[in-house]
A and B are shown apart, each in its own frame.
Chain A
Amino acid sequence: MDIVLDVLSWVAIAGGLFFMLVGTYGILRMPDVYTRLHAAGMTDTMGAGFLLLGMALQTVSGIMHGESSYWFVLIRIVFIYAFLLFTSPIACHALARAGLAGGVEPWSNERRDES
């Protein structure tokens, strides 16, 4: 059972790292703010979600060894993920709104030469 939990946790952490690196590459690669926000949102939900899932699986294996203090660690991980789940879309929305209000034109094929 231990080895199963360990393997699942490593897979989740590797997946989280993959999504995080791809999202950050997207931030560098995309042409304007709004398209970059798309890549940034993926980093927050998928990358952070999988990384925290991997850590949660590690604490579950700690709980199964009888260390009851790991329950609180698990609760904290759930709190962090719930908080990220609420704040990340709000921050993305506020960014897009502020960008529109600040007069940033959305990127399109016709304007490719300027950027």
Chain B
Amino acid sequence: MFFVATAGILVSMTLALVRALLGPTVYDRVMAVNIFGTKTVLLIAVLGFLTGRPEFLDLALVYALINFIGTIAVLKFFEFGDLGLTRRIHREAE
């Protein structure tokens, strides 16, 4: 059954990649990559159960953290053109 879960997650990861390649705007691509990362977390967790080594959940936890930070950083970069440094400089100058 975990094998079926792995196959299903892989299929939906492929579909998310299709959206990342098609996506007309950059936000579509970022969203697809974010979804892809969430699915990777689940894939790592399921793979741990499939191979009888649930210690893989540690890797899933770390990947969830990296995925979230990466998405927020990329979005901040696209929204403001930087990661917040110039605005901090402006604030300090005022």
Residues of A within 8 A of B (CB): 10, 13, 16-17, 20-21, 23-25, 27-28, 33, 36-37, 40, 43-44, 47-48, 51-52, 54-55, 58-59, 70, 73, 76-77, 79-80, 83-84, 87-88, 90-91, 94-95, 97-99, 101-102, 104
- B83 located at the interface, meaning its Cβ lies under 8 Å from any Cβ of chain A in the complex: no
Q: Which residues of B contact A43 (CB under 8 A)?
A: 12, 35, 38-39
Give the B interface residue count (CB, 8 A).
43
Q: Which residues of B contact A28 (CB under 8 A)?
A: 15, 18-19, 22
The residues in B between 25 and 39 inclusive whose CB is less than 8 angstroms from any CB of A are 25-28, 30-32, 34-35, 38-39
B72 x A79 contact (CB < 8 A): no
Interface SS of chain B: helix
The 18 listed contacts between A and B (C-beta, < 8 Å) are A10-B1, A13-B5, A17-B4, A17-B8, A21-B11, A21-B15, A33-B27, A36-B19, A37-B31, A43-B38, A51-B9, A55-B45, A59-B54, A79-B61, A91-B34, A91-B75, A94-B75, A98-B78
Q: How many A-B residue pairs have CB under 8 A?
A: 132
Contact of A24 among B16, B22, B27 (CB under 8 A): B16
Closest partner residue, chain B, to A9 (CB atom)? B1
Q: Which residues of B contact A47 (CB under 8 A)?
A: 42
Q: Which residues of B contact A98 (CB under 8 A)?
A: 27, 30, 75-76, 78-79
Residues of B within 8 A of A (CB): 1-2, 4-5, 8-9, 11-12, 15-16, 18-19, 22, 25-28, 30-32, 34-35, 38-39, 41-42, 45-46, 49, 54, 57-58, 60-61, 64-65, 68, 71-72, 75-76, 78-79
Interface SS of chain A: helix
